Structure 1
Amino acid sequence: MKLGLALGYWGAGPPPGTVEKVDAAEDLGFDSMWTAEAYGSDAFTPLSWLGSRTTRMRLGTSVVQMSARTPTATAMAAMTLDHLSGGRMVLGIGASGPQVVEGWYGQPYPRPLARTREYVRVLRDTIAREKVGSDGPHYPIPYPGGTGLGKPLRSTLHPYRTDLPILLAAEGPKNVALAAEIADGWQPLFYAPRHDAHYRESLDAGFAARGGRPDGFEVVCMVQVVVDDVVEAAADRIRPFLALYIGGMGAKGANFHYEVFARMGYDDECARIQELYLGGDKDAAAKAVPTSMVEQVALIGPKAKIAEELPVFRDSLVTTMVVDGSPEQLRTVRELVDG
Structure 2
Amino acid sequence: MSADRDVFLPVAAQPSVEALVEQAQRAEDLGYDRAWLPETWGRDAVTVLTSIARETESIGIGTSIMPLYSRSPALVGQTAATLQEVSDGRFRLGLGPSGPIVIENWHGVEYGNPLKRTRETVEIVRQVMTGEEVRYDGDQFELGGFRLRCAAPDPAPSIDVAGMGPKAVELAGRFADGWHALMLTPDGLEDRTEDLERGAELGDRDPDDLQVTLSLTCAALEDRERARDIVRQHTAFYVGGMGTFYRDNLARQGYEETANTVYDAWNDGERERATEAIDDDLLDELAVAGTPDEARERVEAFAALDGVDAVSISFPREATQEEIAATIDALAP
TM-score, normalised to structure 1, is 0.88
Q: Which amino acid aligns with 1:158?
A: A
Alignment CA distance shift 1:13-1:307 (3 Å): closer
- Residue deviations 1:194-252, cap 9 Å, x none? 432321220121111121325542112221232346755432111221111111101xx
- Equivalent in the alignment of 1:223: 216
1:175 aligned to 168, 172, 177, which one?
168
Q: Secondary structure at the match of 1:176?
A: helix
- Equivalent in the alignment of 1:49: 51
**1:5-16 → structure 2 map (5 Å cutoff):** 5-11=7-13, 14=16
1:156 aligned to 139, 149, 156, which one?
149
- Equivalent in the alignment of 1:207: 200
Alignment CA distance shift 1:12-1:90 (3 Å): closer
CA distance in 1, matches of 2:19, 2:157: 30
CA distance in 2, matches of 1:162, 1:244: 39
Q: 1:127, 1:162 within 8 Å by CA — same for their partners in 2?
A: no
Over the residues paired in the alignment, what is the CA RMSD in angstroms?
2.1
Residue 294 of structure 1 pairs with residue 283 of structure 2: yes
- Equivalent in the alignment of 1:193: 186
Deviation at 1:10, TM superposition (A): 4.6
Q: 2:129, 2:153 within 8 Å by CA — same for their partners in 1?
A: no
Count of residues paired in the alignment: 322
1:245 aligned to 238, 249, 271, which one?
238
Q: Secondary structure at the match of 2:142?
A: coil
CA distance in 1, matches of 2:38, 2:227: 24
Q: 1:181, 1:207 within 8 Å by CA — same for their partners in 2?
A: yes
Residue range with higher mean Cα deviation, 33-42 or 65-74 = 33-42
- Residue deviations 1:86-140, cap 9 Å, x none? 1111000001111212112222222111111111111000001121122212121
**1:74-223 → structure 2 map (5 Å cutoff):** 74-142=76-144, 152-213=145-206, 216-223=209-216
Residue 322 of structure 1 pairs with residue 315 of structure 2: no
TM-score, normalised to structure 2, is 0.90
Deviation at 1:302, TM superposition (A): 3.4
- Equivalent in the alignment of 1:146: none
Alignment CA distance shift 1:154-1:20 (3 Å): closer
Deviation at 1:7, TM superposition (A): 1.3
CA distance in 2, matches of 1:22, 1:163: 23
CA distance in 2, matches of 1:155, 1:20: 32
1:332 aligned to 317, 330, 333, which one?
330
Larger Rg: 1
Q: 1:8, 1:62 within 8 Å by CA — same for their partners in 2?
A: no
